[in-house]
Amino acid sequence: MIKGIITGLKTYGTSFGLVTKLKLWKYFAIPILISLLTAIIIGLCAYSFSDNIGHWIEQIWPWEWGKQGFYIFAEILSALFIIALGFILYKHIVMALSAPFMGPVSEKIEVHLLGQSHEHKENKFSVQLWRGIRINVRNLCMELLITIPILLLGLIPVIGFIVTILLFLIQAYYAGFGNMDYTLERYFNYQKSIRFVRKHKGEAIGNGIVFMLFLLIPVVGVILVLPLSVTAATVQTIDLLDIKKK
């Protein structure tokens, strides 16, 4: 899996040049707008609700002594929870709504690399949107089922650092999953795509690591994250499919 992660990271090396060479920036206009609006809405929600959640958690503490300290702890905990939840929701919302726009981009990259593209018979806007929603709702549910117990483990000070790394890798995996599926939708159905990504989880994590790091860069990261990550994932997925040899 380590080799796959390294491969996923390396694929970003040619992403910017490939997007520029194929003149694909115009295809990312609407996805970038979706990305910016989603980030703003989630940021406003986090700002609005962090204090409320902190005060709600504070009610658990029945004593007067140490109440202020517990409130600070509750506020930090609620902020971490909202940030983690915000990252999860952001990527799945953006990936689902961008699916009809990212599919054609992935196809153009495939034509450039192979001279042709494997066209799916249901290559329509509505079908791609439904596929994106279905995949990302499934991934969102799976990610929450894994993330919530790990967040609770994070309350144990000794393993807090390990938990942070684990949460980051889980988010990276599902981010890479979504990026790879823009290519896989032309080859596999829903279930086969899930099995393919599971088989190549290292590559998905490698792609997702850079995706998540981009989100830490204010404004610029939100703008560039989709063009570069989708391009890298397409090149990587085509290589994994081993189409040339077939």
Digit-coded pLDDT (tens) for 76-105: 777 777 777 887 888 899 999 998 888 888
CA 35 – CA 204 distance, rounded (Å):
20
Q: Which residues contact 238 (CB under 8 A, 6 or more apart)?
A: 109, 110, 113, 114, 183
What is the structure's pLDDT at 141? 92
pLDDT beneath 50: ranges in the chain: 121, 244-246
| Structure token digits, residue 12 | 């970003």
**51: nearest Cα among 74, 70, 85:** 74
CA 21 – CA 170 distance, rounded (Å):
33
3-state helix, strand, coil in the chain (%, to 5): 85, 0, 15
Q: Which residues contact 114 (CB under 8 A, 6 or more apart)?
A: 238, 243, 244
What is the structure's pLDDT at 184? 92
What is the structure's pLDDT at 119? 60
What is the structure's pLDDT at 245? 43
What is the structure's pLDDT at 246? 45
HSE value, Cβ hemisphere, 13 Å, CA-based, for 135: 33
What is the structure's pLDDT at 244? 47
Handedness of CA 84, 162, 147, 55 (dihedral sign): negative
What is the structure's pLDDT at 89? 87
- Residue 17 to residues 227, 240, 245, Cα–Cα distance (Å): 11, 21, 26
What is the structure's pLDDT at 41? 85
**Contact present, 167 and 150 (Cβ < 8 Å):** yes
**Contact present, 12 and 225 (Cβ < 8 Å):** no
Question: What global pTM score does this model have?
Answer: 0.84
pLDDT (tens digit per residue) in 46-77:
777 766 666 676 677 667 676 667 767 777 77
What is the structure's pLDDT at 137? 93
